[in-house]
Amino acid sequence: MNSNPILDQLTRRAFFSRSAVGLGTAALATLDQSVTAAPSQSMNSSIGGLTHLPHHAPKARRAIYLFMSGAPSQMDMWDHKPAMTDWFDKDLPDSIRKGQRLTTMTSGQSRFPIAPSIYKFSPHGANGTMASELIPHMAKKVDEIALVKSMWTEAINHDPAITYICTGNQLPGKASLGSWLSYGLGTENENLPAFLVMTASWTGRKEAQALYNRLWGSGFLPSKYQGVALRSSGDPVLYLSNPEGIDPVVRRRMLDSLSRLNQSTADRIGDPETNARIAQYEMAFRMQTSVPDLTNIHDEPKYILDMYGPDVTKPGTFANCCLMARRMAERGVRFTQIFHRGWDQHGSLPKDLPNQCRDTDQPSAALLTDLKQRGMLDDTLVVWGGEFGRTIYCQGGLSKTNYGRDHHPKCFTIWMAGGGVRAGVVHGETDEFSYNITRDPVHIHDLNTTILHLMGIEAHKFTYPFLGLDQRLTGVEETRVVSEILA
Amino acid sequence: MLRFLFATAFFLSLSDLTYSESPEFGRDVRPILSDHCFACHGPDEEHREADLRLDTEAGLLAAIESADADTNALIERITSDDSDSLMPPPKFGKPLSTEQIDTLKNWVRSGAKYSEHWAFVTPVKQFTNEKGQTTSADAINHFVDDELNRVSLKPNGEADPRTLARRVCFDLTGLPPTPEELAEFLADDSPGAYERYVDRLLASPHFGEHVGRYWLDLVRYGDTHGLHLDNYREMWLYRDWVIDAFNSNMPMDQFIIEQLAGDLLPESTVSQKVASGFNRLNVSTNEGGSIVEEVAARNVIDRTDAFGTIFLGLTTGCSVCHDHKFDPLTMKEYYSLSAFFNSLDGNAMDGNIKDHPPSLSVNTPEQTKQLAEFDEFLDELRNKKNGPITSVDQAQDEWERTFTSIEEPTWTFLKPQSATSEAKVEMKIRDDGGVEVAGATAANDVTTIVANLPPNQPWKSLRLEALVDDPNSRVGLSSNGNVVLSEIVLEMQHGDDPSHWTPVPIGNASADIEQQNGPFAVRFAIDGKVNDSEGWAVAGYEQTGPRTAWFDLGTLFSETNDAKLRVQLKYKSKYAEHQFRLVRLGLSTALPKHSKTNQIVRGSVHSAGPFPVAHARNSYSQKFASEQGSFKAEETFTFDGRRYGWQLRGDLPEVVISTLASLAEQSSVNVIHQTLTAETPQTVSLLIGTTDGHVIFLNGKQIGISEGEREIQPLEKSYALDLKKGANDLYVKVVNHSGKSQFSYALQSPLVKVSRQLAELLNRPASDRSASERETLRKYYRSVYCTHPDWQVLIDQEKGTLAAIETIRKETPTTLIWKELAKPRKAHILLRGAYDQPGEVVERATPAFLPPMDSSLPNDRLGLARWLVSDSHPLTARVAVNRFWQQVFGTGLVKTSEDFGSQGEPPSHPELLDWLAVDFRENRWDVKRLLKAIVMSDVYRRSSMVKASQLRIDPRNRLLSRGPRFRLDGEMLRDQALAVSGLLVDQLGGPSVKPPQPPGLWEAVGYSGSNTVRFTPDSGEKIHRRSVYIFWKRTSAPPQMSTFDAPSRESCTARRERTNTPLQALLLMNEPQYLAASKKLAERVLAEQTLPNDRSRVEWLFEKVTTRIATREETDELLGLFSDMAKLYESQLTAAEKLTGESSASLAGWMLLSSTLLNLDEVVNK
């Protein structure tokens, strides 16, 4: 290629024009008036974000949220209920159910026979935390995570519940957690979006619950704060690749002319948005390099790949997404969310749940190890969990080896690890039926409040005016930071 | 005012201001009180602290005991040093700034003048110019310039004609001007040229497409349900209604009335019903497990909030859980308002279907005409079918004669004249008539056997024997000995024309052995379909020995010796060589009689009912008796407080018409049960006719439904009953809407023993039968046994017509509409907004802070709509006018166009807003007139050049010293690229279209069972339609639009954000349709014969894309780009070919140049 004089010339020109790029970047930071450039006194190198944020020194500079869509069964994974063995096929006592509302999938059932978990649990870590045989890798991590067994929500069906935990409201139209963070804190890498989302493949029940763009949407916030979906096939970011027949040299040459023409427009008309546009084209050009660099895992050493398990090289698997999440964290992506579907085990739980756990267990543990090895776990928050829990009683046919579980909003288990989280703690308790919370309930708003807190934000002060209200991720009611699980 | 606007340029940071002049209450003071005080001292009674209220005059004045700013209570509390006494309380987290405190102090000092919230006061016109005749354009110029004068900002002069031509064309049609439109405008230098140009644009059908699009954002129009499965919802007729309404310049008041209450208008038209679909645009769900009352309550809240946002510009949603904290809307008033929207005559759950009732099918005039013709033809056909047909009646006589003498049939073996193989395999005819495969078997084959049809005998059945020479051999040729007969086809030749073969329909088939592990029953060999996965499979791998199948022919008769029968045995299974080795065919004049073990035994008939029901149409889905469960004769059912049991019915014979019990003046339901016991799994047909609707259940599963009442047609419908081995529960639910409940049924299969009653009837001489018995017997014969060609012709015609009707029905678009329950549902306050905590019952009513509804108006949506557009209503016209202003200028006079309440931003030009609102209303809510006034104003026509002084004083151009210039919406950008390149297909209306989008977007989020989980792009013209027609999946909006801030259409959106991101740059550079447009431009410039050189080509392209003439510098820059590119591609022709599909460096160069033009800032902007 270098023997081609025209190409040489073009490449030189491209190189030359790249020096003008810095101007564009500066223009971006100063001309965009709805946000302002990061204050120089800020503790990190954020770009964009609100001047008065963070409210306090953050423990975590970035977060990775492993979202198990469909609601994992807490009593088959984390919430060990040995007494249930003797309750096999006996009815859930009314004193436990307390007339609580049910989904219409089981509200017509004539009885609510208890289905004890068929999985073996064993103690792990310094405190003997119980974990089931389905999650052997995470079981070894109990001393590094904070397990919360007392999560609860009001919503009883998937669509409202997942919208609720992801955007703070059961109805569509609100801003998602990641877009709030992106709006408030900006990005640490101007060449990548601040909020990236991956939707992983899964091997459990194929009839999986849907996801919705609103789960990472920006709602009432400007759309530039919405999560950018990183895709496992095709362009990782929409329209990232030049079409066939346009290589970077051509693109650069085209952008040079475009910049000059736009600059003359800026000079002639004087609209500051034109300068911002010039900068955005330059950023687009840089993303064409930075994103493929992010997704190209060939430079990962074998021992890292092995740690995430055999699926890691298959694009779109949860293992692959976890490795990608670490690479994003390294590059300063503020918030990464992986949605893994297929956890909605209404029937044949023993057939599907092991597959779901196999998808996620080793990669989740590997992600923690990997971050730790790089010294990044200290300022990276990792959250694992779904939108609600599942019932101890059986939905559909019950046998010694087969059962299903309905939705259960009154308790479920999540874990958090990394930046600012107290390692090795188990927070909250449920009754022997894993039905009611008996100690330290944590509402999903409190979870989001805690996540914001760790990122340096006080939830009740973090508002955006819309429809006459100071909108908050955590709603209008008072919420609390779950300080018991903080380091 | 200046300072205020300057401040609003930064988000709501009114607190940064100091006022030296006396603050105005509505503009300066109320916003502070609202944002910092109302939450605890506002309209919400429940949470009002210290009984202090600051949102009313009385309350506020009470808080300012004296006009001394330093001693009165209000000022004292907001300036207190004592943190216990300081207001707002520090823990509230919203302290007042020094400037805000100063504003409040100054306001008190200057006399503490109070005024009602501006938006709730009826607007008045407060300006006439010297001429006495003020046009709206005059008023716009006056009020805007007044304000500019006050801050000493000099307005720009008029934009140059080309810029203006492009700007106004975009604002009125969403498209750039065509070269012809531009040329016509530029060539017209007489006075009024611009106005004439504007008039032409207003008359363009693209006006409605463009202006309507903003409305579609606002009302959250989408092509899917929005929640959970997010399946297809057919609603585009509503979208087209909106476009039409704007194109025909429907007055805005009528536009509002028809949407809110089109269904309630006297003798409402189809179009008005379509408009009422407005009330159905909320997202809906059918998620398994949902609690219907909860979903219903949410839907009502969604509609009420939409009403608030769209028409009132108010955030009613706050009052779902408590009295509004900022605006005077109580919780009770909220639920009174919601009561207008709670009585939909339909299910809250959407059923995941596209036409979730109530919905409407709307035929095109052509379809309506065709349907009428088909209906007429069907009537004729049915009359013929029901009347005497000599030839058919003779055949019936023959049938009746032979019927009584059913005996073991004797079989006449066919003597084949020829036996051939499609695969050219050698065939051998044996002496006994058997046909044997003699050569090497082919993977697939068709055996064709032709034999003489023995004359003068009424042949009724054909027997196919698959023989083996040794009982331990297997019948098949395949390695495992199995066979799949995909299809058997019979044809007859009457002997007069040797080339003419008439198909012989096979009425029924049975076999001694059928495989049960798939579609392998013998009926799959007579279903008219030949495919590789179905057919009669004989379990040859399991059992050795022969197989037999019987086929029911009706009556096959020939009077000549020359008639022939042709039998084709088609072996097309995916399993290779699954063919019989040796077959023999026989005919019989009797129906086949099978061993007892094969027969189906009918149990006794029971019935339960009549169950009284309020609405017959709801009974189809309601459960009665044990219709979906197992049958217990002694079981009883409690219904509506009464007990019902099963009654044994010996009086419901097959075939004849029976009458069921019904109720006088009330709809009712009967359930009938019969147990059918089969020795082998098999399929029989249930023929049934009812005066009523019916639902058929077999073994707990619904297998058929027919809704609505009709004249009885005995044995009218046919349902296939797939019987399992053993006892089968057959239930028929008969839904009687009104009048008599009549019923006739029969089972059709050679394996069903003829019922006792039927045998009796046939044994009776015809003269002893009643008229009704004669009629139904004829029906029975014709439906079950008759295969006479004259009859068959009628059946074929009927089937063909029905198929044609069905095709039209499928093509007929449907749309969701509103239908009100006859009796409105009771409305309650929902405590804390919870559906299961109903509080006080509330009546429909409008909020008290707005003018009352005229008592002459009906207390329903129609009354509500008329109230909205009444002269005294302070909000409707203001809100509407403000949105049109926002459309054109990018920001409304009230920036928060969704919130005119006290938390919203006050208007930048309040008198102008009021003037325009009153003028709009006084002039019949004429939308085109309003938009014309706006674009005719000097303010609009200003150049958009930005001077440093303007940028400093008014960066966001709220004072309008310069013309509007901002980024085009995604729709306009895409339409522009298609239009300037010549790709745009500007056809109006119709189903939504799917231009290509990157694969996998829907799959990544979709529920696997959703019918929108996979995106399949359209092709042809559809992909080049305007963007307003793009299919909008609400959980995954089209990326070409959402990247440019288009909303998801899940909730109401009164204004879009306008961001500027790298993802937008990537899209404009790389999205395939923008590239296609670039390529098309390149092709066109190369085809343009008049252009002598590259320079002129650059100029041509530049003008096409920008509407402007390029400067010398611009042309030079682009020429440089082109020549670099052309040179580069010359050396890399493969790259050029990859890009353009042609090995042409020049085409690639022009394409890249065109793409550059489409990315220019001035092209991306208005």
Contacts of A171 in chain B (CB under 8 A): 298, 302, 1051
Convert the pLDDT of each residue in B356-369 to its tens digit: 999 999 988 888 89
Within a 10 A sphere around the Cβ of B210, how many other Cβ atoms? Answer: 26
Helix residue ranges, H only, B359-480: 365-386, 390-403
Encode pLDDT of B515-534 as tens digits: 878 889 888 999 888 888 89
Contacts 24+ apart (CB under 8 A), A301-307: A304/A370, A307/A366, A307/A369, A307/A370
The closest of B879, B881, B851 to B866, measured between CA atoms, is B851
Q: Do A159 and B227 touch (CB under 8 A)?
A: yes
Q: Nearest-CA distance from A200 to chain B in Å?
A: 8
C-alpha distance from residue B894 to each of B20, B316, B883, B942 (Å): 24, 18, 9, 21
A residues 23-82 near B, CB within 8 Å? 32-34
| Predicted local confidence at residue A141, as pLDDT | 96
**Count of positions (residues) in chain A:** 487
List phi, psi (to 5°) of A426.
-115, 120
pLDDT, one tens digit per residue, over A110-141 is 788 999 999 999 999 999 999 999 999 999 99
Q: Is the pLDDT of residue B190 over 90?
A: yes
Instruction: Give CA–CA dist A48/A46, Å, rounded.
Output: 6
Measured distance CA(B432)–CA(B447) in Å, rounded: 18
Q: Residue B743 has what pLDDT?
A: 86
Asked if B327's CB is within 8 angstroms of A468's CB, the reply is yes
* A39 or B1085, which is more confident: B1085
ipTM of model over 0.90: no
Closest of B137, B154, B148, B139 to residue B5, by C-alpha: B148
pLDDT at A13: 41
Confidence of residue B17 (pLDDT cuts 50, 70, 90): very low
Q: Which of B225, B1139, B1151, B1161 to substitute to test the interface with A, most A CBs within 10 Å?
A: B1161
Which of B9, B326, B1128 lies closest to A468 in CB terms?
B326
pLDDT at B404 over 80: no
d(CA A401, CA B929): 74
- Asked if A33 lies within 8 A of B1043 by C-beta distance, the reply is no
Q: Please list the residues that pair with A486 across neighbouring strands.
A: A421
Question: Using one digit for the tens of pLDDT, what is the confidence trace for B715-742?
Answer: 778 888 888 888 899 999 999 988 888 8
Q: How many CB atoms lie within 10 A of CB B937?
A: 21
B1117 vs chain A: nearest CA distance in angstroms?
Answer: 7
Contacts with A461 from chain B: Cβ below 8 Å: 93
- Distance of residue B287 Cα from the nearest chain A Cα, in angstroms: 7
CB contact under 8 A, A224 and B1061: yes
Which amino acid would we find at residue B791? W
Peptide bond preceding A72: is omega within 30 degrees of 0, i.e. cis? no
Which residues in chain B are closer than 8 Å to A32, comparing Cβ atoms? Answer: 1060
B636 forms beta bridges with B645
The position carrying tokens 């990326």 is B1039
A-B contacts (CB, under 8 Å): 260
Average pLDDT over residues A4-8: 48
Q: Ranked by mean pLDDT, which of B678-682, B790-794, B1069-1073 comes out on top?
A: B1069-1073
Residue B406 has pLDDT above 60, yes or no: no
Q: Average pLDDT in the A326-331 region?
A: 94
Instruction: Say which of B945, B1050, B1064 has its CB closest to residue A173.
Output: B1050
pLDDT at A22 over 60: no
A137 close to B (CB below 8 A) = no
Mean pLDDT calculated for residue range A284-309: 92
pLDDT classification of B628: cutoffs 50, 70, 90: confident
Query: In the numeric block, which tokens belong to residue A310?
Result: 């055999």
Q: Is A481 on the interface with B (CB under 8 A)?
A: no
| CB hemisphere CA count around B630 (13 angstroms) | 2
User: Cβ(B186)–Cβ(B162) under 8 Å?
Assistant: yes
Note the pLDDT of residue A39.
Answer: 30
Radius of gyration, CA atoms only, chain B: 40
- In the prediction, which pLDDT does B542 show? 82
CA distance A370 to chain B (A): 27
Beta strand pairing call for A129-132 and A121-124 = antiparallel
Contact B651/B734 with Cβ under 8 angstroms?
no
**Structure confidence by residue, pLDDT tens digits, A80-103:** 999 999 999 999 998 898 877 777
CA distance B1004 to chain A (A): 6
Could B1061 and A280 be called an inter-chain contact, meaning their C-beta atoms sit closer than 8 Å?
A: yes
Q: Is residue B439 scored above 60 in pLDDT?
A: yes
CA B735 to CA B671: how far, in whole Å? 9
3-state class of B79 per DSSP? helix
Q: CA angle B679-B680-B681, nearest 5°?
A: 130
pLDDT value at residue B1020: 94
| Contact (CB, 8 A) for A352 and A210 | no
What does the mean pLDDT of chain B come to? Answer: 88
B1066, A240: Cβ pair inside 8 Å? yes
> Residue A31's pLDDT band (boundaries 50, 70, 90)?
very low
Minimal Cα–Cα distance from B1084 to chain A, Å?
20
Query: Residue B405 has what pLDDT?
Result: 44
Between CA B218 and CA B224, with CA B223 as vertex, the angle to 5 degrees is: 105
Predicted local distance difference test score (pLDDT) of residue B752 = 63
